[in-house]
């Protein structure tokens, strides 16, 4: 028997101004996307912004529905829109932000398992690491690749 350990590394920033300019632009796009959320039930407005290798940024937001499971998280809205509109372009990063009661959440919103799996798929499709930038009011967490949020990713069929 062998005990093994998986370590996850990420970087914490305390303000948008600490980010390099492209990351700051992506984080701001995620914050801006929260304004386009349709979240009448949870009132938890989530924004996501996907960065392509060529510099283009595509935004998405959570879209809720009276039949609750029919709604979709911001991350998957953004990722599916990104892939559907630019199928031949590689995605290299995603940023996520959440606004509740009119305020950017203090602690970053962390993506659900289904969204992590979808991120993993587009990372696999592009063949490049997908950076994940989670934006809170005074905590910004940067993960270099989806694997850091989803160790032992399923990608084997
Ligand atoms: N939500 C997201 O859009 N992304 C997340 O990372 C967490 C949760 C949405 C789903 C639902 O519309 C609302 O936030 C409350 O869970």
pLDDT tens sequence across 79-89: 999 999 999 99
53 is catalytic: no
**For residue 97, what are the β-bridge partners?**
47, 135
Q: How confident is the model at residue 55 (pLDDT cuts 50, 70, 90)?
A: very high
Q: How confident is the model at residue 155 (pLDDT cuts 50, 70, 90)?
A: confident
Domain at 11-148: CATH code: 3.40.140.10
Give the C-alpha separation, 115 to 60, whole Å: 13
Of 92, 151, 144, give the one whose Cα is nearest residue 117: 151
Ligand 1 atom with least separation from CA of 62: 3
* Whole-structure pTM value: 0.96
Q: Whose CA is nearest to atom 10 of ligand 1?
A: 73
Q: Are 149 and 114 in contact (CB under 8 A)?
A: no
From the CA of 120, how far away is ligand 1's center (Å)? 18
Ligand 1: residue of 45, 71, 74 to mutate (most ligand atoms within 8 A of CB) is 74
Residue 110 dihedral angles phi and psi, to the nearest 5°: -105, 135
Selecting among 12, 25, 75, 103, the annotated active-site residue is 75
């Amino acid at each position: 028997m062998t005990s093994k350990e998986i370590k996850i590394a990420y970087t914490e920033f305390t303000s948008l101004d600490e980010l390099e300019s492209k990351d700051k632009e992506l984080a701001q796009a995620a914050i801006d996307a929260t304004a386009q959320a349709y979240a009448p039930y949870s009132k938890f407005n989530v924004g996501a912004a996907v960065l392509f290798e060529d510099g283009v940024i595509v935004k998405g937001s959570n879209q809720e529905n009276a039949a609750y499971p029919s709604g979709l998280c911001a991350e998957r809205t953004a990722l599916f829109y990104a892939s559907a509109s630019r199928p031949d372009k590689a995605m290299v990063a995603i940023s996520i932000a959440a606004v509740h009661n009119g305020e950017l959440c203090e602690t970053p919103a962390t993506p659900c398992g289904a969204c992590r799996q979808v991120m993993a798929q587009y990372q696999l499709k592009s063949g490049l690491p997908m950076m994940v930038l989670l934006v809170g009011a005074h905590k910004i967490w940067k993960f270099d690749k989806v694997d850091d949020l989803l160790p032992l990713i399923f990608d084997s069929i």
